[in-house]
Structure 1
Amino acid sequence: MPESGRLTGMTKTPSVRYLNGRFYSAADPRATAMVTGGATITWLGDGADAPAADVTVDLGGALVTPAFVDAHLHATDTGLAFDGLDLSPVRSPGELLERVAEFAATRPADAVVHGHGWDESTWADQTPPSAELLDRAAGGRRVYLSQASVHSALASSALLPVARGVHGHDESGWVREAAHHAVREIALGSLTPAQRESAQRTALSRAAALGIAAVHECGGPGTSSEEDFTSVLALSGRGLPRVFGYWGELGGIERARDLGAHGAAGDLYADGALGSRTASVRSPYLDGDHGCGEAFVTAQQAADHLLDCVRAGFQGGFHAIGDAAIATVLDGFALAAKTVGVDRLREGHHRIEHVELIDKTMIARMVEFGVIASVQPVFDALWGGTDRMYAQRLGVDRALASNPIGAMHATGVALAFGSDSPVTALDPWAMVVAAAAPRNPRFRMSVRSAFAASSAGGWRAAGVEGAGTLKPGAAATFAVWETPGGVSGGLPVLLPDVDDVLPERPVCVRTVLDGGTIFQR
Structure 2
Amino acid sequence: MPTSLYTNAAIRTPALPVHAGLSALLVTDGVVTWLGPVEDAPAADTVVDVRELAGENALITPAFVDAHVHATDTGLALSGLDLSAARSARDVLDAVAAFAATLPEGAVLLGHGFDESAWPREAQVPPTAAELDRAAGGRAVYLSQASIHSALVSSGLLTLAEGVAGYDASGWVRRDAHHVVREAAFAGITAEQRRAAQRRALEHAASLGIGAIHECGGPGTSSEDDFTDVLALGRLPELPEVYGYWGELMGAAKAVDLGAVGAGGDLYADGALGSRTAHLSSDYLDGDGCGFGYVTADQVRDHLLDCHRHSSSTGRFVQGGFHAIGDAAITTVLDGFAMAAAKLGGNGVSGAEVLRESRHRIEHVEIVDKALIARFVEYGIVASMQPAFDRLWGGEHQMYAQRLGVARSLASNPMGQLHAVGVTLAFGSDSPVTPLDPWGSVRAAVNHFNPTLRMSAKSAFAAHTRGGWRAAHRDDEGVLAPGKAATFAVWQAPAGLVGTLPTLLPALPDEPLPDLPDCRLTILRGEKIYG
The corresponding residue for 1:489 is 499
| Alignment partners' CA distance in 2, 1:159 and 1:251 | 30
Q: Does 1:319 align with 2:333?
A: no
Check whether the contact 2:11–2:500 (CA below 8 A) recurs between aligned residues: yes
Question: 1:213 & 1:247 partners in 2: Cα distance?
Answer: 21
Aligned with residue 76 of structure 1, among 51, 72, 75: 72
Aligned-pair CA distance for 1:196? 0.5
Deviation at 1:188, TM superposition (A): 1.5
Rounded Cα–Cα distance in structure 2 between residues aligned with 1:273 and 1:431: 19
Aligned residue runs from structure 1 range 354-369, under 5 A: 354-369=364-379
Counterpart of 1:19 (choices 7, 11, 20) is: 7
SS in 2 for 1:277: coil
Q: Distance in 2 between matches of 1:77 and 1:454?
A: 21
Counterpart-to-counterpart distance in 2, 1:146 and 1:38: 44
Matched, 1:280 2:268: no
Provide the rounded CA distance (Å) in 2 between the counterparts of 1:360 and 1:324: 14
Moved over 6 A (4+): none
* Aligned equivalent of 1:142: 140
Letter in 1 for 2:150: S
Match of 1:426 among 433, 436, 460: 436
What is the distance in 2 between the residues matched to 1:86 and 1:477?
Answer: 32
Partner Cα separation in structure 1 for residue 169 and residue 260 of structure 2: 36
In the TM superposition, residue 466 of structure 1 has moved relative to its aligned partner by 2.2
Whole-angstrom distance in 1 between the partners of 2:503 and 2:303: 43
Give the match's secondary structure for 1:374.
Answer: strand
**Aligned-pair distance for 1:53?**
2.2
Pick the aligned partner of 1:446 from 438, 442, 456: 456
Letter matched to residue 23 of structure 1: I
**8 Å CA contact 2:440, 2:516 repeated in 1:** no
Q: Distance in 2 between matches of 1:297 and 1:337?
A: 18
Q: Which of the numbers 386, 401, 421 marks the counterpart of 1:376?
A: 386
Structure 1 unpaired stretches of 5+: 1-11
Q: 2:48 aligns with which of 47, 57, 69?
A: 57
Quote the offset at 1:454 in angstroms: 0.6
Determine the structure 2 residue equivalent to 1:230.
Answer: 228
Aligned to 1:387: 397
**Among 420, 427, 450, the residue aligned to 1:417:** 427
Corresponding residue of 2:255: 256
Equivalent residue number for residue 5 of structure 1? none
Q: Matched residues in 2 for 1:250 and 1:237: separation?
A: 26
Report the RMSD for the aligned CA atoms in angstroms. 1.0
Deviations 1:70-94 (A, max 9, x none): 0000011111111110000000001
Whether 1:505 aligns to 2:516 is: yes
Shift of 1:480: 0.2
Distance 1:396 1:21 in 2: 44
> 2:3 and 2:217 mapped to 1: Cα distance?
37
Contact 2:253 2:310 in 1 (8 A): no
Partner of 1:219: 217
In the other structure, the counterpart of 1:9 is none
Structure 2 unaligned spans of 5+: 312-317, 345-350
Opposite residue 515 of structure 1, the aligned amino acid is G
- The yes-or-no answer on 1:335 pairing with 2:339 is yes
Deviation of 1:200 after TM superposition, in Å, equals: 0.6
Q: Distance in 2 between matches of 1:132 and 1:488?
A: 54
Report the Cα distance in structure 1 between the residues aligned to 2:308 and 2:223, rounded to whole angstroms.
25
Give the secondary-structure state (helix, strand or coil) at the position aligned to 1:234.
Answer: helix
TM-score with structure 1 length normalisation?
Answer: 0.96
Count of residue pairs the alignment pairs up:
507
Report how far residue 264 of structure 1 moved: 0.3
Report the residue type matching 2:438 in the other structure: P
Contact 2:395 2:449 (C-alpha < 8 Å) held by counterparts: yes
> Partners in 2 of 1:225 and 1:90 — Cα distance?
30
TM-score, scaled to structure 2? 0.94
Query: How far apart, in 2, do the equivalents of 1:33 and 1:489 lie?
Result: 16
**Percent identity between the aligned chains?**
63
Which has the larger displacement, 161-170 or 71-80? 161-170
Q: Could you tell me which residue of structure 1 aligns to residue 88 of structure 2?
A: 92
**1:182-223 deviation per Cα after TM superposition (whole angstroms, max 9, x unaligned):** 111111121111111111111111100000000000000000
